[in-house]
Structure 1
Amino acid sequence: MSTRLLLLADTHVPRRARRLPEQVWRAVAEADLVVHAGDWVEEALLDELEQRSRALLAVWGNNDGPGLRARLPEVARAEVDGVRIAVTHETGAARGREARCEQAFPATDVLVFGHSHIPWDTTTPGGLRLLNPGSPTDRRRQPRCTMATAVADAGTLREVTFVPVER
């Protein structure tokens, strides 16, 4: 058995976009688990994702107010088909990220994070995979908005793909 993942972060609805693009909602419908690394901005999007996704693993971000912080943790963890996943919003500066995260997230196979809006995929010397899906609504200095998909299967994360999002 395997689990199809959709990785999101920094949706900023309705601040950066009035709503998520339909392409993202199609990906939500196809995913077994949606992972959201924070910066929702309003609770309505969390409500909608909870209703429309099969399962949701999510955290709050620095742009999320008291309502979202009351409903979501700062760090979320789950084991998905043998893959130990942790989710947080912010990991600090790119410089030294691998060492910091490896120390802060022991016994973790994959750390999903957001904040920068910059897609990121690296693996630390100790084997921790760091993934930032970018933002599906606010590309900032990137050529396009993005989200990511992956498959968890028998203790391995495979088929990690950064997907351009049309707005």
Structure 2
Amino acid sequence: MKVVVISDTHMPKKAKRLPSRLLGDLGDCDLIIHAGDWQTIELFHELKQYAPVIGVTGNADGPELKSLLNSKEVLRAGNFQIGIVHGHGTGKTTERRAMAAFADDDVDCIIYGHSHIPVLKEIDGAIIFNPGSPTDKRRQKEFSYGILTIGEKIKAEHIFFEDKQ
């Protein structure tokens, strides 16, 4: 199973369309996960044309998205439980807030966004994954998104690219 993981697209403010590099992976994925800060509901409908979409809301998302999506999700993919949250809030770091959101859940992977900083690490047996942003790299060297390959294990990787066209 190929899962494309994105976050912090902030469309149409930061981009009028999804980058071609990302569109290539959307074309053959089985599932799309968006970890919040979509900005408008149009992107949700666009992504659904490629594959089923599971997403959460972030701090930049308005009432229309909040009426459609939750702020936290736990989904089963293969034999694994994946937690998704944006990670915004007060106190702690974004990563610690994301981990705290699933303290009472038995998850194999935690996906979060908010910081626009790509992260891939393992803590206490769980993959901690922030895909970065494919449209708003902020102070990062490159734009990015993620791919989860789910089989006997979960393999997480970042796709980095320089041009968001």
- Is contact 2:36-2:55 (8 Å) kept? yes
Q: 1:118 to 1:162 in 2, by over 3 A?
A: same
What SS does the aligned partner of 1:104 have? coil
- 2:33 aligns with 35
- Is contact 2:87-2:97 (8 Å) kept? no
| Whole-angstrom distance in 2 between the partners of 1:95 and 1:63 | 15
| Whole-angstrom distance in 2 between the partners of 1:136 and 1:70 | 25
Match of 2:61 among 64, 84, 92: 64
Aligned residues: 161
- Is contact 1:91-1:101 (8 Å) kept? no
Structure 2: gaps of 5 or more residues: none
Shift of 1:141: 0.8
- Is contact 2:37-2:60 (8 Å) kept? yes
Query: Partner amino acid for 2:160?
Result: P
Q: For each residue in 1:108-131, what CA deviation from the matched residue of structure 2 results, as whole angstroms up to 9, or x when unmatched?
A: 00010000000011211x212110
Q: Which runs of 4+ in 1 moved over 3 A?
A: 91-96, 98-103
Structure 1: gaps of 5 or more residues: none
| Whole-angstrom distance in 2 between the partners of 1:141 and 1:96 | 18
TM-score, length of structure 2 as denominator length? 0.89
Q: 1:33 to 1:17 in 2, by over 3 A?
A: same
TM-score, length of structure 1 as denominator length? 0.88
Shift of 1:63: 0.2
